Structure 1
Amino acid sequence: MALMKIKFNQRKRVKLAQGLWLLNWCCVLSGIALFTMGIFLKIELRKRSEVMDNAESHFVPNSLIFMGVLACSLNAFAGKICYDSLDPAKFARWKPMLKPYLIICLLFNIFTFFIAVMCLVTRGSLESTLSHGLKNGMRYYKDTDTPGRCFMKKTIDLLQIEFKCCGNNGFRDWFEIQWVSNRYLDFSSKEVKDRIKSNVDGKYLIDGVPFSCCNPNSPRPCIQHQMTNNSAHYSYDHQTEELNLWSRGCREALLTYYTSMMSSMGALVLLVWIMEMAVMIGLRYLHTCLESIENPEDPECESEGWVLEKSLKETFTSFWKSLKSLGKLNQVENTEGDGGGDKGASVATVS
């Protein structure tokens, strides 16, 4: 028994073809939107690639670009099929292509759903990427004379100013690394020597942060050096000065920015997936209802359309049997090949 069988007359078939034609061109526009989103996301990730640890984060934008191009191509082709379906002579040349096309559509819809899920659950991998990338970026902040790292200071400073953040998890991250270049340290100074000797790794660590961590909303001039020394500044308590620096870490700020962007994109991809599923099911109905017309010379006659020719259980069973028969066929061919080899070896032995 066919699954989701519907009866169609001439009027319903025309309405189905026209509705699918319109829906296909809506999907073409959605494909352009997906392509644009992929390009935008790729640019955004490249802009901050220096503070991201791995290149795998480009899988989603690359997939969106590929999906956009494929959606435009597939739906433009489907739109042409729907337009020609009103003319039996023109539709006859598309009939052999419809089954392979529907299989391609099914694979495309599975891939689309997978990318939608990836957009919605990518927070974990993105958090790890940003955490390691920011940690490395902060470590190279002082290397303004090193080729390949000379722009890291500018990148980190602009990042902290734009996203109103400081450090990886917070401003105290700057206390654990040497962010002042040796070029600007006076090694004849006793204070510098003592600080370097007091550190196991021989680094110049201070309780200070770069200027880009300063919060302009603070009512007093920014205190960015000797931050934990209350006696070094008048009327200052580092535990209560909330407005002096940005309190949020850059990992959290970037994660919120990219997660909200990816969630919006995931919702749009999910909407495109629903539209593509509707197109695929509609095309299947159009295909079956036109094929089941008993008298092609009478366009007014009724016909039946369905999604699956058999029930879901029967379809799965027949598909499983087909896979088993293919497996047995390969096994027989391998056995015959082995037998032929043994026979050849026996003949060689006798001779």
Structure 2
Amino acid sequence: MAMMKMKFNLRKRVKLAQGLWLLNWCSVLAGIALFAMGLFLKIELRKRSEVMDNAESHFVPNSLILMGALACTLNAFAGKICYDSLDPAKFAKWKPMLKPYLIICLFFNVFMFFIAVLCLVTRGSLESTLSHGLKNGMRYYKDTDTPGRCFMKKTIDLLQIEFKCCGNNGYRDWFEIQWVSNRYLDFSSKEVKDRIKSNVDGKFLIDGVPFSCCNPNSPRPCIQMQVTNNSAHYSYDHQTEELNLWNRGCKEALLHYYTSMMSSMGALVLLVWLMEVADMIGLRFLHTCLDSIANPEDPECESEGWLLEKSLKETVTSVLSLLKSIFKLNKVESAEGDGGDKTPAVATVS
């Protein structure tokens, strides 16, 4: 028994075709929006690729760009089918393509739903990517004379100024790395020698931060050096006083920026997915109701349309049996291929 069977007269078929035509062209516009979103996200990720650990983060924008292009192509094709559907002569040339097209749409919708979910739950992988990338970026901050890393100081400074953040998890992260280049250290100074000797790795560590960590909204001049030394500054207690440095770490700032962006994109992808599912279901009803017209010469006659030719249980069973038969056929062919080259050995007795 067919699933979701409905009766259609000429008026209903015309309304269905016109509604699907309009919905498909709305989906084309939605596909353009998906393509633009993917492009925007890719540009935003590339702008800060130096502080991101791997290229896996580009999977989502690349997928959005691909889905946008496919949505435009598939829905423009479906719009043309809907436009020609009420002309039997024109519809005849599209008829053989409809089943393969609907199967392609099914896989496309599954992939789109997967990307929408990925946009909404990508926070964990993005957090790890940003954490490792920012650590490496801060470590290379001092390498202004090293080819390939000379831009890192500018990148980190602009990042901290733009996102009003400091360090990876906070300003204290700068206390644990040498961010001042050896080029600007006076190695004849006793203070510099003592600091280097006091460190196991021989690094020049200070309780200071780069200037880009300073909060310009603070009324007090920025205290960026000797941050934890109360006696070095007048009327200062770093444990009780609100510091004039950004308290938020850059990982948290970037994570909030990208996750809010991806959450909005995920919601939009879900909306486009619902439109695509409606397109696919509507086109299936249009296909079956036009295919089941008993008398093509009488356009006024009623016809039946359905979503599935059999019940859901029967459809699932038939698909599983088809997959099993294909798997068994491949297994038999591979077994024949393995045994086909073998020839029986002939023993000769002299």
TM-score between both structures, scaled by the size of structure 2: 0.97
- After superposition, where does 1:239-258 map in structure 2 within 5 Å? 239-258=239-258
> Corresponding residue for 1:145?
145
Contact kept? 1:206, 1:226, Cα under 8 Å: yes
1:304 is paired with a residue whose SS is strand
Match of 1:232 in 2: 232
Deviation per CA, 1:234-270: give whole Å up to 9, x if none: 0001012324100000000000000000000000100
Matched, 1:328 2:328: yes
- Structure 1 unmatched runs, 5+: none
Residue type at the aligned position of 1:189: S
Residues 341, 349 of structure 1: alpha-carbon distance in 2 compared, 3 angstrom cutoff: farther
User: Per-residue displacement from partner, 1:92-138 (whole Å, max 9, x unpaired)?
Assistant: 00000000000000010001001101100100000000000000000
Distance (Å, rounded) in 2 between the aligned partners of 1:137 and 1:156: 7
Q: Partner of 1:29 in structure 2?
A: 29
Task: Name the structure 1 match of 2:48.
Answer: 48
Residue 218 of structure 1: how far off its partner (Å): 0.9
Amino-acid identity (%): 86
Q: Which amino acid aligns with 1:274?
A: L
Residue pairs, 1:1-351, within 5 angstroms: 1-334=1-334, 336-337=336-337, 340-341=340-341, 344-345=343-344
Closer, same or farther: CA 338–221 of 1 in aligned 2, 3 Å? closer
**How many angstroms does 1:176 deviate by?**
0.2
Following superposition, the deviation at residue 333 of structure 1 comes to 3.7
CA contact (8 A) 1:292 1:303 kept: yes
1:38–1:64 contact (8 Å) kept in structure 2: yes
Q: Conserved in 2, the CA contact under 8 Å of 1:163 and 1:254?
A: yes
In structure 2, the gaps of 5 or more residues are: none
Q: Is the 1:217–1:243 contact (alpha carbons within 8 Å) kept by the matching residues of 2?
A: no
Aligned alpha-carbon RMSD (Å): 1.4
The superposition leaves residues 201-249 of structure 1 with CA deviations (integer Å, 9 ceiling, x where unpaired) of 0000000000000011111101011111111100001012324100000
More moved, 221-230 vs 241-250:
241-250
Question: What residue identity is the alignment partner of 2:98?
Answer: L
Amino acid at match of 1:6: M
CA drift at 1:32: 0.5
Distance change (3 Å), C-alpha of 1:333 and 1:197: closer
The CA distance in 2 between the partners of 1:208 and 1:339, in whole Å, is 74
Distance 1:340 1:166, change over 3 A: closer
What secondary structure is seen at the aligned counterpart in 1 of 2:112?
helix
Encode CA deviations 1:284-343: one digit per residue, 9 max, x unaligned.
00000000000101101111111100001001111112122223333444455566555x
Across the two proteins, how many residue pairs are aligned to each other? 349
Change (3 A) 1:289 1:236: same
The secondary structure found in structure 1 opposite 2:93 is coil
- Secondary structure (helix, strand or coil) at the match of 2:321 reads helix
Task: Report the CA distance shift for 1:350/1:295 in structure 2 as closer, same or farther (over 3 A).
Answer: farther
Q: Which letter maps to 1:34?
A: L
Distance 2:89 2:238 in 1: 83
Secondary structure of residue in 2 paired with 1:93: helix
